[in-house]
Amino acid sequence: MSIKIYVGNLSFNTSENELQGFFEPYGAVDSTKIIVDQFTNRSRGFGFVEMSNREEGLRAIQELDSKELGGRSLKVNEARPKTDSGNGRRGGGGGGGRSRW
């Protein structure tokens, strides 16, 4: 069974290849994804690593949490499923009604 791992506090200069190389000593890495801002295309400072073997992934989490990469102390843990805010809305403005101006 595979595992998805959250990696936080990444340097804005860390590449997906560098992140993959950081995890490979612990087992096979299926994919890496650094999350980027959609407008600036700049790293948001966190990403995800997927590993084929859950036990290897758990060992990587244990060994790499608080380790330094790119001058930053990483936060590494098992990724949690993305949750909905529960209100059924997707953000946006508020208000409604007539304008004061």
36-90 pLDDT, tens per residue?
999 999 999 999 999 999 999 999 999 999 999 999 999 999 999 888 666 555 5
Nearest CA-CA partner of 64 in 52, 80, 49, 53: 49
The structural architecture, per CATH, of the domain 3-76 is 2-Layer Sandwich (3.30)
- pLDDT band, very low/low/confident/very high, at 100 (cuts 50, 70, 90): very low
For the chain, give every domain's residue range. 3-76
Of the CA atoms within 13 Å of residue 5, those in its CB half-sphere come to 33
Q: What global pTM score does this model have?
A: 0.80
